[in-house]
Amino acid sequence: MTMNWNWELLSETGLQFFGEMSASISHELKNVMAIINENAGLLEDLTVMAEKGMPIDPERLKIQASRIMKQIRRGDDIVKGMNRFAHSVDEPLRQAELNDTLGLMCTLSGRFASMRGVTLELEPASAQISIVTNPFFLQNLLWLCLDFAMSVTGAIKKVVLKAEKIETGAKICFSKLQELGRKEPGPGSFPGEREAALLQALKARLEIQKESGELHLLFPAQAER
């Protein structure tokens, strides 16, 4: 079955996805380091002032310390996400919990969303929804859909994501896409070749609900090896 996959396109889109995410993560970490750097510099400034006989305000120290700790936590979350993302290529097929995967994608795409002034909202499902699939292809497909979804939010500037269990497997819904119906088909239109290759590899299906402004991704409970 995998012989029919468009490996060249899958590799190309996968590498591009990996590159985009890595660049965004490195940018986020640089920002974290820049904030820690400035707050550590402020502590140093306070020490210099104290050496010159000016009293140190404990409240100011407390603020600096809490700002540094906040960035350490932020950096830790980024690195954890990066680690999970990097390990998604470990196995070609494994069980993936969709709420978790959507959460990870929201974290990884956060910077792209904020650059476009878009908010990503994850509506958590009440129960765990797991499918057996290729985790990297799944993340790649989710990113392509999310990237497109962010371009058709209209004035709402929000994408709501939700995973649901269905009889044949699972469904991921991207909603609040106000301008979905207004997008003209043409070069670079959605879904393109990359999405098609990933849908085939994941044995998934994409439904575009123009009237309700929703994209639905339908996955089987178990993809083929």
Which positions lie near other proteins, rule CB under 8 A? 23, 26-31, 33-39, 41-42, 45, 67, 70-71, 114-117
Contact of 130 with 93, CB cutoff 8 Å: no
Measured from the CB of residue 76, what is the shortest distance to other proteins in angstroms?
16
Measured from the CB of residue 23, what is the shortest distance to other proteins in angstroms?
8
Pairing state between β 158-166 and 119-123: parallel
d(CA 163, CA 80): 22
Residue nearer to other proteins on the CB measure, 113 or 170: 113
Residue nearer to other proteins on the CB measure, 116 or 205: 116
Sign of the C-alpha dihedral computed for residues 121, 204, 141 and 209 taken in this order: negative
Measured from the CB of residue 139, what is the shortest distance to other proteins in angstroms?
22
Q: Output b/e per residue, 125-151; b: 16+ Cβ within 10 A.
A: beeebbbbbbbbbbbbbbbbbbbbbbe
Residue nearer to other proteins on the CB measure, 3 or 155: 155
Residue nearer to other proteins on the CB measure, 39 or 133: 39
Measured from the CB of residue 43, what is the shortest distance to other proteins in angstroms?
10
Beta bridge partners of 222: 132
> For the chain, how big is the Rg over CA atoms in Å?
21
